[in-house]
Amino acid sequence: MTTLPAYDEANGLDVVPRRVSRKARGVDAVFEHSARAIGASVLVITGGVGLFLGWQAYPTLSRYGLDFFTESRWLPEEDVVGIAAVLTGTVSIALVAMTFAFPLALLTALYISEYAPARIKSTLVAMVDLMAAVPSIVYGLWGYLLVMPRAGELAQWLHANLGWIPFFDIRGTDPDAAVPDASRYLYSSFAAGIAVAMMVLPMACAVMRQVFSQAPQGEKEAALALGATRWGMIRSVVLPFGRGGIIGGTMLGLGRALGETIAVVLIISPTFDVKWNLTEIGSNSVSAHIALQFGEASPAQLSALLAAGFVLFLITLLVNTLAAVVVNRSRSGAGTDA
C-alpha cells in the first residue's frame, strides 16, 4: 500500500526543493576528471606532433621561402632544397591512383548495394573491408613484381600507338626500334599509381557503399513502381542521394593516396624533375623521399625533410577535412539519435 507523505502542519512551510546540481560528485567527479585528463593527454600527444612538425619546419621555410615550393632539385650540400619535383610526383601518383580507383570503387559500391544477390552481399562487404586491411607492403609486392612488368608493356604499347599525345611520349626511346628499351617504361608513376589504387579503392568503396545503402527505400521503390529500370532507379534516386558520399569517399581515398609510402618506394626509381609523362621511368613522392633520405640526413636536412612532411600533412589534412564536410553534409538528417 502506498503511503502519502504526511504533511506536517507545524513545519509545513519549511519544505524546500531538493538541491539539484549539475556538478559531479564522488565517483562521477573522479570519472569526469580522469576522462578529461586522458583527453588532454591525447590532445597534447596528437597536437604536439602537429606543432612539433610546424616548429621544425619553420627554419627551413623561413630560410628558403617560396623557393622551397618552386625548386625541384634536392641538393643539401649546395644549399639547394625544394619540393617542387616530389610534390608534383606525389600528386601525379595520387591522380593515377584515383583514375583507377574512382570508377572501380563506384562500380563496386553500386554492385554491392544494388545488384548483388542478398545472399552474398555481406560476404562482399567483408571482402572490401578485408581488402582495406591488407598491408600496404603486400600491395607493394604485388605492384612491383606482378603489375609493373605488365604496366610497362602497356606503356610501351601506348607509346608506340598513341605516342603523338605528349602524355604518353617517352623521351630517349624509340618504340619502333628492333629491341625497345623496356626499362624506360618501368619504375614509373603509372606503375606506382596502380599499386596505390588498390590501397585507396576499398576505402572509397566502403564510404560510397555506406551512403548508397542509406538511399531512401521508399523513393527507390517509387521509382521502380513508376516503371523505371534498375539503372533508371539508380540514376534518379541512388546517385543523386549518394553524391556527397561519392565525392567524400573519393577525397578520403585521395588523402590516403597522397601519404602512401612503401609501395611507392618499392616501385619508383627516384628522380628530381617535374614531368607530366607519367609512364616514363622515374618519379618521386614526398613520403618516398623521406623514406629514402632520412638515413644520411644532417640536422638541417632533417628539418627540410620535416618541412616536406609538414607540407604533405597540411595537404592531406585539407583534403580529409573537405571530404569529412562533404560526407557529413550528405548525411544530414539520416543520423542516429546520439
Partner 1 sequence: MTIQQTRPTATGVGLPAGTTHLPQVDDDAPPAVPRTSIGRPSADEQLVQWGPWLSAGALAWLLTQQLLPLPGLAWFVLAWFVLGLLVTAVLAGMHGGSIAVRDRVAASVITGGALTVGVALVSTVGFVFWEGWEPLLHLNFFTDDMAGVGPRDPFTRGGIAHAVLGSLIQLGIGLAITLPLGIGTAVFMTEVGGRFAKLVRTIVEAMTALPSIVAGLFVYTVFILTLGQPRSGLAAGLAIAVMMLPIIARAADVVLRVVPGGLREASLALGASRWKTVWHVVLPTARPGLATAVILGSARGVGETSPVLLTSGAAMFFVVGPTDGAMNSLPLFIYSNVRSGEDTAILRAFGAASVLLVLVLLLFVVARLLARPPRASKRRRFSLTPRGGWAQRGLDLSRANPGSVAGAVRPAPAPAPPAPDPAFPIGPDDRPTPPQEPR
Segment 185 to 204, residues that bind partner 1, using CB under 8 A: 198, 201
Residue at 180: amino acid letter: P
# binding residues, partner 1 (CB under 8 A): 98
What is the closest distance, in whole angstroms, from the C-beta atom of residue 245 to partner 1 in the complex?
12
CA–CA separation, 330 and 324 (whole Å): 10
DSSP annotation string for 301-335: HHHHHHHHHHHHHHHHHHHHHHHHHHHHHHTTT--
Q: By C-beta, is 214 or 271 nearer to partner 1?
A: 214
Residue at 194: amino acid letter: I
Piece of 9-17, 30-38, 165-173, 217-225 that binds partner 1 (CB under 8 A): 30-38
**98 in Cβ contact with 300 (< 8 Å):** no
CA–CA separation, 250 and 324 (whole Å): 11
φ/ψ of residue 281, rounded to 5: -60, 145
By CB under 8 A, residue 317 contacts partner 1: yes
By CB under 8 A, residue 160 contacts partner 1: no
By CB under 8 A, residue 298 contacts partner 1: no
φ/ψ of residue 22, rounded to 5: -80, -10
Q: By C-beta, is 261 or 284 nearer to partner 1?
A: 261
Residue at 6: amino acid letter: A
Of 67, 165, 167, 230, the residue at the interface with partner 1 (CB under 8 A) is 230
The binding track of 236-255 with respect to partner 1, each residue x by CB under 8 A or -, is -------------------x
Piece of 4-12, 91-99, 129-137, 174-182 that binds partner 1 (CB under 8 A): 129-137
Half-sphere exposure of 144 (CA within 13 A, CB side): 14
What is the closest distance, in whole angstroms, from the C-beta atom of residue 30 to partner 1 in the complex?
8
By CB under 8 A, residue 225 contacts partner 1: no
40: left (phi over 0), alpha (psi -120 to 50) or beta: alpha
CA–CA separation, 84 and 102 (whole Å): 26
By CB under 8 A, residue 49 contacts partner 1: yes
174: left (phi over 0), alpha (psi -120 to 50) or beta: beta
CA–CA separation, 301 and 323 (whole Å): 33
Of 141, 224, 239, 300, the residue at the interface with partner 1 (CB under 8 A) is 141
Task: Count other C-beta atoms under 10 Å from residue 335's C-beta.
Answer: 8
By CB under 8 A, residue 229 contacts partner 1: yes
Of 95, 224, 274, 291, the residue at the interface with partner 1 (CB under 8 A) is 291
What is the closest distance, in whole angstroms, from the C-beta atom of residue 12 to partner 1 in the complex?
28
By CB under 8 A, residue 120 contacts partner 1: no
By CB under 8 A, residue 129 contacts partner 1: yes
Residue at 62: amino acid letter: S
Of 91, 95, 224, 324, the residue at the interface with partner 1 (CB under 8 A) is 324
Q: By C-beta, is 70 or 229 nearer to partner 1?
A: 229
CA–CA separation, 280 and 155 (whole Å): 8
Residue at 144: amino acid letter: Y
Map the footprint of partner 1 across residues 89-118, applying CB under 8 A: 103-108, 110-112, 114-116
What is the closest distance, in whole angstroms, from the C-beta atom of residue 107 to partner 1 in the complex?
3
By CB under 8 A, residue 36 contacts partner 1: yes
Q: By C-beta, is 65 or 135 nearer to partner 1?
A: 135
Of 165, 231, 240, 243, the residue at the interface with partner 1 (CB under 8 A) is 231
CA–CA separation, 147 and 170 (whole Å): 19
Of 232, 240, 269, 273, the residue at the interface with partner 1 (CB under 8 A) is 232
Q: Which cell numbers hold the place of 326?
A: 562533404
